[in-house]
A and B are shown apart, each in its own frame.
Chain A
Amino acid sequence: MAASHIIKLNQFCRNLTFEKLFRGFQLWLQQNIENVQSENRVEQEQNEGMSNREEGEEPKRKESQYENQYESDRMAGSILAVERDEKAESSRKIIPADKKIGAASGEELEKSQFSADGMKIALQETIHKYEKLLRDCKTEIEKKVITGSIDSLKQQLADLEAKEVANDTSRKNREKFHKKILQALKDIFEYYSKQHCRVGVYTTFDTIKHELDILSLGEFSFIVRDFQLLRRKEDRAVNEISYSPFSHPSSNLENSRNI
């Protein structure tokens, strides 16, 4: 029995060409039109019947609808008014006067200054300032002091840029490494998860996909055996949970012990 199914599956997969699937799809579309048309007809008939029955009741319902709407609006209006008052009071109480408008922009500025870009901009601006001062200088001592500080600032700027580049490269390397690990794990998972598939007569394409996308306990045990994950003694310890249906789940976990 099983052998015939395997042969059937092999044939099915080998013979499944685009043309066949496409032809089947076209046939489904054509057959579906008839179904949709008949459903639409039934719906229309039902709607017509419903509308005929509702015509007599409509005026009464409209009146009650308006009444309900008025009542709900009144309630909503009062709730909104209370909320508005509460908000206004809380804002008056909590927010100090000096932090209302200017504070947010001040904080943003501070944050940007502390970031690397902010530091770079600040350094460049100070270098420009010092260069302007240098042009106006008259005595030699002043010139010496300013050129020294400009050099040190330029050095700091170069260090900052070098650090940024180093950080970028290390981050990229880390990301690459992480991606490689994930890809390798994915390959292993896919290889083992597609080892077996339990499907029956009424299996759908969805269930096949689901079956082949999950890793069963048996397949997991193959991974454990092939990669020798239980080589060390510590890894072999399994937590046995003494389960009681009447106690809290956390207490069940506390009762667990190593075997």
Chain B
Amino acid sequence: MISADQLKELISNIDNYESDLRDIFLNNLNDDEILNPELINSVLDEWGMTLGIDISAAKEWLQEGNENGVEEINYQYGSISYHQAKPIL
């Protein structure tokens, strides 16, 4: 498990990793420059690999965006039928 000191160090150095993380994000975009929902998982996994931390807790946290009181980041969504939402895939 990651220690508090490691996390502090990571937060202070996170700006150094921003370009790498951005590249990972951009590499996973589709032709319409949208990130497909199934690729969010792999983007976060790759971020975790780059930073050397376990990302599973972050995934859960990000999905509960509403409950965490982060208004500008609304990751939570309800039941979705992809059949009708096909154009974005």
Contacts and interface: CB of A to CB of B under 8 A. Distances in A.
- A and B found bound together: yes
Contact of B25 (A14, A18, A30): A18
Interface stretch (A2-10, A57-65, A102-110, A170-178): A2-10
A14 to B, nearest CB: 6
A22 to B, nearest CB: 6
B73 A32 contact: no
Contacts of A5: 77-81
A8 B78 contact: yes
B18 interface: yes
Interface of B: 1-4, 7-8, 10-11, 14, 18, 21-22, 25-26, 34-44, 47, 57-63, 65, 68, 70, 72-75, 77-86, 88-89
A30 B63 contact: no
A141 interface: no
A195 interface: yes
Given A13-B37, A20-B73, A28-B58, A195 B83 contact: yes
A212 interface: yes
Nearest to B22: A18
Interface of B is mostly: helix
Interface stretch (A73-81, A127-135, A197-205): A197-205
Interface stretch (A33-41, A154-162, A180-188, A233-241): A33-41
A206 B37 contact: no
Nearest to B11: A29
Nearest to A200: B79
B62 A8 contact: no
A13 B32 CA distance: 11
Contact of A213 (B18, B38, B61): B38
A77 B44 CA distance: 51
Given A9-B80, A24-B70, A28-B62, 17 more contacts: A6-B85, A10-B85, A13-B35, A16-B40, A18-B21, A22-B21, A24-B75, A28-B57, A32-B61, A33-B8, A36-B3, A196-B82, A200-B79, A201-B78, A208-B40, A212-B82, A213-B38
Nearest to A22: B21
Given A14-B34, A16-B40, A2 B84 contact: yes
